[in-house]
Amino acid sequence: MLNFNNTEKAFAYKSNEQLKKARFLFGLMQYNGLVKLGTKLTPIALKMRLPIKGLIRKTLFEQFVGGQSLEESSAVINMLNNQHVDVILDYGVEGGEYDDPKYDHALKEFIKVIRFASTKKNAPFISVKLTGLGSTSLLEKLNLNSYDKFEFVSEHRMNQKIQSLNNAELNSWESLIKRTEKICQTADEVGVGIMIDAEETWIQDPIDYIALMMSKKFNKHKSVVYNTIQFYRHDRIEFMHASHQESLDHSYTFAVKIVRGAYMEKERDRAEKLGYLSPIHINKQRVDEDYNHAIKFILDQPNASLIVASHNEDSTYLAVERSKQSDLSNNKAELHFSQLYGMSDHLTFNLADSGLKVSKYLPFGPIEEVVPYLMRRAQENSSVAGQTNRELSLIKEECKRRGI
Ligand SMILES: Cc1cc2nc3c(=O)[nH]c(=O)nc-3n(C[C@H](O)[C@H](O)[C@H](O)COP(=O)(O)OP(=O)(O)OC[C@H]3O[C@@H](n4cnc5c(N)ncnc54)[C@H](O)[C@@H]3O)c2cc1C
User: Contact at 8 Å (CB) between 298 and 333?
Assistant: yes
344 lines ligand 1 (CB under 6 A): no
How does strand 358-364 pair with strand 86-91? parallel
262 lines ligand 1 (CB under 6 A): yes
Q: In this predicted structure, what is the pLDDT of residue 368?
A: 84
How far away, in angstroms, is 251 Cα from ligand 1 center? 30
312 lines ligand 1 (CB under 6 A): yes
- Long-range CB pairs of 40-47, under 8 A, 24+ apart, other chains included: 42/371, 42/375, 43/371, 43/372, 43/375, 46/368, 46/371
How far away, in angstroms, is 164 Cα from ligand 1 center? 34
Q: In this predicted structure, what is the pLDDT of residue 234?
A: 97
How far away, in angstroms, is 280 Cα from ligand 1 center? 12
Nearest atom in ligand 1 to the alpha carbon of residue 311 is 26
State the Cα–Cα distance between residues 286 and 300, nearest whole angstrom: 21
How far away, in angstroms, is 317 Cα from ligand 1 center? 17
287 lines ligand 1 (CB under 6 A): yes
Q: In this predicted structure, what is the pLDDT of residue 126?
A: 98
User: Contact at 8 Å (CB) between 255 and 305?
Assistant: yes
* Alpha-carbon distances, residue 235 vs 89, 232, 272, 316, 339 (angstroms): 29, 9, 18, 23, 24
Ordered by start, the domain boundaries in the chain are 1-65+374-404, 67-364
153 lines ligand 1 (CB under 6 A): no
User: Contact at 8 Å (CB) between 10 and 394?
Assistant: yes
pLDDT (tens, 9 = 90+) of the chain, 404 residues, equals 788 999 999 999 999 999 999 999 988 888 888 888 888 888 888 888 888 888 888 889 999 999 999 999 999 999 999 999 999 999 876 666 778 888 999 999 999 999 999 999 999 999 999 999 999 999 999 999 888 889 999 999 999 999 999 999 999 999 999 999 999 999 999 999 999 999 999 999 999 999 999 999 999 999 999 999 999 999 999 999 999 999 999 999 999 999 999 999 899 999 999 999 999 999 999 999 999 999 999 999 989 999 999 999 999 999 999 988 766 566 677 999 999 999 999 999 999 999 999 999 999 998 888 888 898 888 877 765 555 678 889 999 999 999 99
Q: In this predicted structure, what is the pLDDT of residue 324?
A: 83
Coil, strand or helix at 4: coil
Amino acid (one-letter) located at 138: L
Helix (H) or strand (E) holding 196: strand 193-196
361 lines ligand 1 (CB under 6 A): yes
> What CATH code would you report for 67-364?
3.20.20.220
State the Cα–Cα distance between residues 367 and 52, nearest whole angstrom: 10
Of the candidates 205, 235, 41, 221, the residue with the CA atom closest to the CA atom of residue 139: 205
